[in-house]
Structure 1
Amino acid sequence: MARRDGPIVEPVPGDPAAVARLGPDADDETALVVADYHAGIEAGLRYERGIELESDADVRLARLTRLLDRTDPDRLVVLGDLGHRIGNPKGDESEELRILVDRVTPRVPVTLVRGNHDGGIAEAFGDRIDVTDGSGVRLGRVGFVHGHTWPAREVVESDVVCAAHEHPAVRLEDDVGGGRKERAWLRGPMNPEPFADHLGIDVSELDWRAPELVVFPAFNDRSGGTWVNVEGQGFLSPFLPDGVFDADAYLLDGTRLGPYRSV
């Protein structure tokens, strides 16, 4: 079989999404991967913070369908938090999710890696999309986990591990002290020791493939995030930062900023 060269997980330039090549050969399955969609976030912001925003549901769906057109994947993988409510989806969120499922599932199968905001989605849409356990799933040579819990052993023993939950972002300052927030990718080699400790095994027992960890930016540009280059900001995931030796930050346009701690 013909083989493909290049990264196993390759970001789509300019977008908070990536294409994952699940196998090594040219005819193996590919997946469009996005994270932290947070359907219905406007209703949540209204309830949680008293912030009134018009719904961006149509914009989010248009961006997602444009990415499906652009990348032509075999599958869509959502790295958790497809919905925004921690409990069962209802109201505007439920309607946004229904329209999304109606629009996307006739085109590609959908795998949702359960996140901490995905309560009730399996019950509401589990007959139309695959919903994994919170510890994630391995598809081919790529492991997927949301990141609010420790990944399963099969995920850790992948060639690349994709995670979310952090909504990583960097604060960039100009020469006159102005600053702006930019969503970012984090990529770096994983450290096996914390994962082996959590599994209660020795590192030598892992089928360790020296995987790269890829932490995805949030698809939803209205969600908050972890400012990874701001002193005092901590990670949300239980396996970060110890689970990675070091990580570089990248902007959505592909600009490499270098080690995230020194950006």
Structure 2
Amino acid sequence: MAAVEPVVGEPAAVADLDGERALLVADVHAGIEVGLRYERGVELESRADERRDRLCSLIDETGVDRLVVLGDLAHRVGAPEGDERAELEALVAAVTERVPLTLVEGNHDAGVAEAFADDLDVIGPGGGALSGNGEGPDASGVAALHGHTRPDPSLRSAAVICMGHEHPQVRLEDAVGGSRTERAWLRGPLRPSVFDGEGDTEGGDRDPSDSGPELVVFPAFNERSGGTWINVEGGSFLAPFLPDGLAAGDAYLLDGTRLGDFRRI
């Protein structure tokens, strides 16, 4: 099976894609401080330089041949402009000086692909293959989508599908009642009905043997972007096929700690 290996301690993973190694991240949300100022009147000091340096350092440290962003490279919905565009220009230039950049279009990326058409390879919102031919029962390819739409049926035969959008987090409590929130990975087999546009019913059969590709839901690269508390009762998932589209699913912290079934954390 195709391997997608998280980088310990980081919201990023490395995958082998047909002879090249790629670094995968999701939800960079460049320009988030601009967006928060515009949307909510919240003033925060920009971390644009820190985000860019952290991403470039990961590229250098992992020695990859490509960067794949699983959607929401930008934050504010709409064509990038002003300070947000300036941050994106600096970020894209710094990355592409090192490696090619592939963007899987997310719901926040309207206009980004067009604005940076000469600098990006683009995969549409329904997702697409990153490696492998995606055919037959022994397909070993890696596919990607952002997650704000259902995956294209062509992804059904992939071994692994990588996804962003959800920004999974867990709320952890200690023995004296204190709590903290940490970003997390979510991994599990997808139910085949996800590709047919069908829903699963809460409490229905979730036999992992009746499953499609493994889904890897990435934590958000941007720590300021909030997220879905996957272990809080009544929490609402963002993707139209989660959580019921998972036949089973385990959560992991960035340091690799396995928390077990996300439904029972």
So what's the TM-score if we normalise by structure 2? 0.89
Partner of residue 58, structure 1? 49
Structure 2 CA distance for aligned equivalents of residues 145 and 256 of structure 1: 24
Structure 1 CA distance for aligned equivalents of residues 182 and 190 of structure 2: 24
- Residue among 7, 10, 25 paired with 1:15: 10
Aligned residue pair count: 245
Q: Which amino acid aligns with 1:77?
A: V
SS at match of 1:186: strand
SS at match of 2:77: coil
Partner of residue 136, structure 2? none
The reply to whether residue 120 of structure 1 matches residue 111 of structure 2 is yes
Moved segments of 4+, more than 6 Å = none
Q: Report the Cα offset of residue 108 of structure 1.
A: 0.9
Partner of residue 184, structure 1? 184
1:45-87 deviation per Cα after TM superposition (whole angstroms, max 9, x unaligned): 1111121101000010111011001111111100000000111
- Decide whether the 8 Å contact of 2:192 with 2:211 is kept in 1: no
Partner of residue 165, structure 2? 165
Partner of residue 247, structure 2? 245
Q: Report the Cα offset of residue 209 of structure 1.
A: 8.7
- Decide whether the 8 Å contact of 1:143 with 1:156 is kept in 2: no
Q: Report the Cα offset of residue 241 of structure 1.
A: 1.4
Q: How does 1:132-171 map to 2 (within 5 A)?
A: 132-140=123-131, 141-171=141-171
The reply to whether residue 225 of structure 1 matches residue 196 of structure 2 is no
- Decide whether the 8 Å contact of 1:157 with 1:209 is kept in 2: no
Structure 1 CA distance for aligned equivalents of residues 156 and 29 of structure 2: 26
Q: Report the Cα offset of residue 42 of structure 1.
A: 0.3
SS at match of 2:124: coil
Q: Report the Cα offset of residue 106 of structure 1.
A: 2.1
SS at match of 2:229: coil
Q: Report the Cα offset of residue 153 of structure 1.
A: 2.1
1:19-62 deviation per Cα after TM superposition (whole angstroms, max 9, x unaligned): 01124xxxx11110000000000011111112110100001011
The reply to whether residue 131 of structure 1 matches residue 122 of structure 2 is yes
- Residue among 40, 45, 52 paired with 1:49: 40
Q: Name structure 2 gaps, 5 residues minimum.
A: 132-140, 199-209
Structure 2 CA distance for aligned equivalents of residues 54 and 159 of structure 1: 41
SS at match of 1:43: helix
The reply to whether residue 94 of structure 1 matches residue 100 of structure 2 is no
So what's the TM-score if we normalise by structure 1? 0.90
RMSD (Å), alpha carbons: 1.5
Q: Which amino acid aligns with 1:167?
A: H
Q: Report the Cα offset of residue 225 of structure 1.
A: 0.2
Q: Which moved more, 1:125-134 or 1:176-185?
A: 125-134
Structure 2 CA distance for aligned equivalents of residues 7 and 177 of structure 1: 41
Q: How does 1:199-214 map to 2 (within 5 A)?
A: 210-214=212-216
Q: Report the Cα offset of residue 197 of structure 1.
A: 4.1
SS at match of 2:64: coil
- Decide whether the 8 Å contact of 1:74 with 1:108 is kept in 2: yes
Q: Report the Cα offset of residue 213 of structure 1.
A: 0.4
Partner of residue 201, structure 2? none
- Decide whether the 8 Å contact of 1:79 with 1:163 is kept in 2: yes
Structure 2 CA distance for aligned equivalents of residues 78 and 56 of structure 1: 19
